[in-house]
């Protein structure tokens, strides 16, 4: 993986510039390869910032990093539901995926119910994708990196994080 290209995607997203479809496919491929190798229970060391539902609130997410500290200086566990309801669901998810690709040991992404194919097709992400004025196709997000369970996870077991021997799940 070329981290330079992922860093350029991250910079573009933060500047409000959409990434291209080939870049999107590359990012999803990189993150999917990381996620399938994770166990369904991820051990996380404190101190760590635990964040609830983001729901597509891109600018709130940027503010969260301003307030709580930037990755990799700080570590984060995101409890799922990255998309839906907010106006920037695609950008929010892509920003988190860039951070996962660049700093996998500093960010844990737990899949919520909004990161499933069924919810994505029915809810706001699909609607916004259809209305998007962006020239970039969002087809890779219809089959998000979260669609495949971790290779070392029992089938249907929800992803969880263990922080100082306390279990967290979305």
The residue with greater pLDDT, 117 or 47, is 47
How does pLDDT run across 57-103, given as a tens digit for each residue? 999 999 999 999 999 999 999 887 777 766 788 899 899 999 999 99
Any residues with CB less than 8 A from the CB of 82 and at least 6 apart, and which? 54, 55, 56, 89, 92, 93, 96, 109, 112, 114, 115
H-assigned helices in 15-158: 21-35, 58-68, 89-102, 117-122, 124-131, 139-142
Domain range 3-169, CATH class: alpha beta
How does pLDDT run across 100-151, given as a tens digit for each residue? 999 999 999 887 654 555 555 555 455 555 555 454 555 555 555 655 555 4
**Residue extents of the structural domains in the chain:** 3-169
The pTM of this model reads 0.76
Catalytic positions are 114
């Amino acid at each position: 993986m070329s981290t330079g290209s992922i860093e350029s995607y991250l910079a573009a997203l933060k500047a409000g510039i959409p990434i291209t479809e080939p870049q999107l496919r590359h990012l999803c491929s990189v993150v999917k390869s990381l996620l399938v190798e994770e166990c369904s229970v991820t051990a996380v060391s404190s101190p760590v910032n635990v964040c609830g539902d983001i729901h597509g609130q891109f600018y709130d997410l940027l503010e969260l990093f301003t307030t709580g500290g930037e990755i990799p200086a700080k570590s984060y566990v995101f409890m799922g539901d990255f998309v839906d309801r907010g106006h920037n669901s695609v950008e929010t998810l892509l920003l988190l995926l860039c951070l996962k690709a660049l700093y996998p040991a500093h960010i844990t992404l737990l899949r919520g119910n909004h990161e499933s194919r069924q919810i994505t097709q029915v809810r706001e992400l699909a609607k916004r994708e259809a209305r998007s004025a962006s020239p970039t196709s969002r087809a890779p997000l219809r089959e998000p990196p979260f669609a495949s369970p971790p290779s070392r996870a029992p089938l249907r077991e929800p992803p969880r994080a263990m922080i100082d021997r306390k279990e967290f799940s979305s």
